[in-house]
Chains A and B, each alone.
Chain A
């Protein structure tokens, strides 16, 4: 069992969060957090992509529908994309997808986009901590077919 605190009220729920990080900025920022030994919760799993613009909305939808508790897309700050414009598309796709997911009843915290530069190791650590706490408080993602939570009123 995990040693650290669980905020979701003692049932020991540990969310599983998928993180996409772009090679030039956010993945480097994550590395810097590591080099700086900034400690953070161990719930996130990073998939490296060259640019946040590689992340297609279908990945996010699939990940959430298959039961992952959250998806976080990290990219360079707008204006600083290594490929000039990639993250502007990430931004638009992210905006639209967030609203759509929320509309079909998926909590907004489960899909987030953040801009983290290569020098922002601290921001990476902070983001991971924050997002993990938010999603932990929400409980397991009930998108997944197999998971039938015991709560009433979920007809």
Chain B
């Protein structure tokens, strides 16, 4: 094996480092370290001059490891790795030591200690560098097709976005008809148009698009694989098919809560949910003379703390519709707060009031009571503002319930290895920074599958999910940084610890040349190192952060401790 030849480059960073740390002392110290054949200081190692120096020295001195001691790797690591590569040295034979953010900038009043610390950090960096190994980034092909699970507004919009980019899309819908949740809705807010007017063109576009294959009446049975190479088994009327896709979008939506046990819903024939109201009355049934709409049914309670977000809007929409059919109808909306966010919905709310819809606030502790024997006839409620109990006429009681997570979410979440939140909806990778993705690469989510949302929100999210899902397909491959885990099969006893702990399901036990052993899929591995830490024999290691490298740093730090203090 060629002798290890380490080059160390200590940066002054103008005055940022050099003003506190005695850089020349550190350079001199670096020269005494094992395997170091070259050490120099630079004013700015990241400058053209500095980078050239690195490249020159690699060539001239036959350096096979480069250590730069300067700022934080989180800024310039790619730059220096690039310089190494240009000089013909594998980019992963480079180690970064932070003597600015972690040293000169935080020990400004103690140059002596700061210099000692810089020396030790360099000693640790050199020790690790000696054990670095050349690595190649792993490239994985992406199959040029996408799967959209769910044929509602979100799913169809995402499918069209992808298809319009020329990407092959498989749209799988459980029901025989496309359209999803809003098929049960007759009119939409705030435009008050018929749902058909929105839905029909959308469905036609989807059905007729050459890049979209619709699988109606179909369920996803099994998925396996990883970004770029998912295998999906689907079944339609007993017939099974297999689809191969590069990315997957979850757009399975949600369902309306049927509030059994609340407000005598299951008991009385004229106590209905909003969707049931849509179905029954907007199709032409006789309209009641008095309607009481109760909001927050089964929402914002201890068992289900969230707000359904747009159900208030739905209630207002239907209240307005009732008044428009017959201004004489008495319409009461019993609410705990009115969620009318944004300009359009706030105006909608005001319009309802102008049309004579009465809004009555009730307390969660004293919910309305339905009066009547075989039918609901009236509602008794503690009117919060008036401070007394009132009885309101009610030929019809409409319960506004939130959307709840579908029962089949759990199965899908297990199949795709994506998580559910506490309320059973799909949980995104990061609430703020990654709202459309999962930690599992290649799977995205949009629409009510994430949390209750209205049509404009579903559509925006669908655009976002489609955009995200198209990127790997258009690039044709995914590149994985060479910090993935790798298992030495000879040393592996297949105890399975690594398989259990991997947050991404990237490790499996497989029969190999030396019997059963763990195997890491580099395309799924994110390089956290959790598996390495749980491997008792050290068979599992992480490229760039293996036990040997980290132990050498610990050893380098501990070795001169016996000579005492600073």
Contacts and interface: CB of A to CB of B under 8 A. Distances in A.
A49 B565 contact: no
A48 to B, nearest CB: 7
23 contacts: A2-B112, A3-B109, A14-B565, A31-B102, A34-B100, A34-B101, A37-B106, A39-B109, A40-B106, A42-B117, A45-B120, A47-B554, A51-B528, A51-B529, A53-B528, A54-B529, A54-B530, A54-B533, A59-B554, A63-B554, A67-B562, A68-B557, A83-B439
Interface of A: 1-4, 12-14, 16, 18, 23, 27-28, 30-31, 33-35, 37-43, 45-51, 53-57, 59, 62-63, 66-68, 82-86, 89, 93, 125, 144, 146-147
Given A14-B566, A42-B117, A85-B503, A33 B561 contact: no
Nearest to B419: A84
A2 B553 CA distance: 24
B101 A89 contact: no
B439 A63 contact: no
Contact of A45 (B124, B419, B528, B547): B124
B562 A144 contact: yes
B102 A83 contact: no
A2 B110 contact: yes
Given A3-B113, A35-B101, A53-B533, 14 more contacts: A16-B561, A23-B74, A42-B113, A45-B117, A46-B98, A53-B501, A54-B528, A54-B529, A56-B534, A63-B557, A66-B558, A68-B557, A82-B528, A83-B439
B483 interface: yes
A53 B565 contact: no
B566 A89 contact: no
Interface in B53-95: 72-74
B561 A144 contact: yes
Contacts of A48: 73, 98
B74 A27 contact: yes
B413 to A, nearest CB: 13
Contact of A34 (B105, B483, B533, B554): B105
A93 B501 CA distance: 13
Interface of B: 72-74, 98, 100-103, 105-110, 112-114, 116-117, 120-121, 124, 419, 439, 483, 501, 503-504, 526-530, 532-534, 542, 545, 547, 550-551, 553-555, 557-558, 561-562, 565-566
A68 B116 contact: no
The 10 A-B residue pairs whose C-beta atoms are closest, nearest first, are: A34-B101, A54-B529, A42-B113, A53-B530, A83-B528, A56-B533, A51-B528, A66-B558, A34-B105, A85-B503
Nearest to B549: A47
Contact of B550 (A37, A47, A84): A47
B562 A147 contact: yes
A3 B527 contact: no
A67 B108 contact: no
Contacts of B561: 16, 66-68, 144
Nearest to B530: A53
B104 to A, nearest CB: 8
A30 B109 contact: no
Contacts of A3: 109-110, 112-113
Interface SS majority for chain A = loop
- The winner among A3, A33, A51 for most chain B CB atoms within 10 A is A51
A12 B565 CA distance: 8
B558 A42 contact: no
Contacts of A67: 558, 561-562
B554 A18 contact: yes
A39 B113 contact: no
A28 B533 contact: no
A86 B503 contact: yes
Contact of A50 (B113, B534, B545, B551): B545
A46 B102 contact: yes
Contact of A13 (B102, B532, B565): B565
B439 A84 contact: yes
B121 A45 contact: yes
Nearest to A65: B558
Contact of A83 (B106, B526, B550, B562): B526
Contact of A2 (B113, B120, B121): B113
B102 A54 contact: no
B465 to A, nearest CB: 20
A49 B529 contact: yes
A41 B74 CA distance: 23
Contacts of A62: 551, 554
Given A39-B109, A51-B530, A146 B562 contact: yes
Contacts of A146: 562
Contact of B557 (A12, A16, A41, A83): A16
Contacts of B124: 45, 47
Contacts of B109: 3-4, 39
B550 A34 contact: no
B123 to A, nearest CB: 10
